[in-house]
């Protein structure tokens, strides 16, 4: 099956529960430990969140459907590394901006970046492809991953992200991520200004 055919199949089978729930699911049967531990931490920190449940979200169309329910703008989460695979980055940027490595590399004074492979994603963030999220930084106890956030994203009141799995999505106040979550997991962040063209 070609990539395009695969993408179309994923779009066709994507299903989303139109209900926007407050907080964690009451019934946790069938949900992974990593997802439940994410809710545990958010609740422990007093971070309120809304939740939407859905089939695995791999496409832009799927993310747009989720954002429509939340009434938020899309947030891209990219897991990157330098060519030597010695420095790793989690980039959060608005969904309507295109990622160009030269724009980011220049602003954070590093060599050209590329997408890091899933082995590093699993080792450092405890995540799998399709589930990349800022909330995965709770697993980065050795601080191997540097968080980069586009300034336009910080101007939005809310951020949409996965609870470390791509079968649910959360809407969380941006300030709760920057002021509560990141402080609790011991991560700082670097602000960049990526172009829209």
Per the DSSP assignment, residues forming a β-bridge with 59 are none
Where is 93: in which H helix or E strand?
strand 88-94
pLDDT at residue 125, rounded to an integer: 97
d(CA 135, CA 155): 19
Long-range contacts of 111-119 (CB under 8 A, 24+ apart): 111/82, 111/83, 111/84, 112/82, 112/83, 113/80, 113/81, 113/82, 113/89, 114/80, 114/81, 114/83, 115/78, 115/79, 115/80, 115/81, 116/79, 116/80, 116/81, 116/85, 116/88
pLDDT at residue 64, rounded to an integer: 87
What is the arrangement of strands in the sheet containing 49-53, beginning at the earlier edge strand?
Answer: 21-22, 49-53, 168-173, 158-161
Spell 59-89 as b/e; 16+ CB within 10 A means b.
beebbebbbebbebebbbbbbbbbeeeebbb
Q: Mean of the pLDDT values across residues 34-42? A: 97
For residue 105, what pLDDT band results from cuts at 50, 70 and 90? very high
d(CA 130, CA 161): 11
d(CA 127, CA 113): 20
Domain ranges of the chain: 32-192
Res 42 pLDDT > 50: yes
pLDDT at residue 12, rounded to an integer: 56
pLDDT at residue 63, rounded to an integer: 86
**Structure confidence by residue, pLDDT tens digits, 107-117:** 999 988 999 99
Q: Mean of the pLDDT values across residues 85-93? A: 97
**Structure confidence by residue, pLDDT tens digits, 5-37:** 444 444 457 899 999 999 999 999 999 999 999
**Structure confidence by residue, pLDDT tens digits, 120-176:** 999 999 999 999 999 999 999 999 999 999 999 999 999 999 999 999 999 999 999
Q: What pTM, to 2 d.p., does this model score? A: 0.90
pLDDT at residue 112, rounded to an integer: 87
Q: Mean of the pLDDT values across residues 62-74? A: 89
CATH of 32-192, picked from 3.90.960.10, 3.40.50.1390, 3.40.1830.10, 3.90.1570.30, is 3.90.960.10
Res 39 pLDDT > 70: yes
């Amino acid at each position: 099956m070609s990539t395009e055919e695969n993408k179309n199949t994923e779009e066709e089978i994507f299903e989303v529960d139109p209900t926007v729930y407050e907080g964690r699911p009451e019934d946790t049967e069938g949900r992974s430990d990593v997802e439940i531990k994410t809710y545990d931490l958010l609740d422990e920190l007093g971070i309120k969140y809304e939740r939407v449940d859905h089939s695995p979200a791999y496409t832009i169309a799927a993310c747009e459907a989720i954002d429509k329910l939340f009434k938020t703008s899309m947030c891209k989460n990219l897991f990157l590394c330098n060519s030597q695979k010695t420095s790793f980055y989690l980039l959060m940027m608005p969904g309507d901006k295109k990622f160009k490595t030269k724009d980011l590399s220049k602003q954070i004074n590093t060599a050209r970046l590329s997408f890091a492979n899933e082995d590093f994603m699993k080792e450092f963030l405890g995540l799998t492809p399709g589930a990349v999220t800022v909330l995965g930084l709770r697993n980065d106890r050795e601080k191997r991953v540097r968080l980069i956030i586009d300034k336009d994203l910080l101007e939005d009141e809310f951020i949409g992200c996965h609870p470390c799995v791509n079968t649910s999505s959360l809407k969380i106040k941006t300030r709760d991520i920057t002021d509560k979550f990141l402080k609790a997991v011991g991560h700082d962040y670097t602000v960049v200004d990526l172009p829209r063209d």
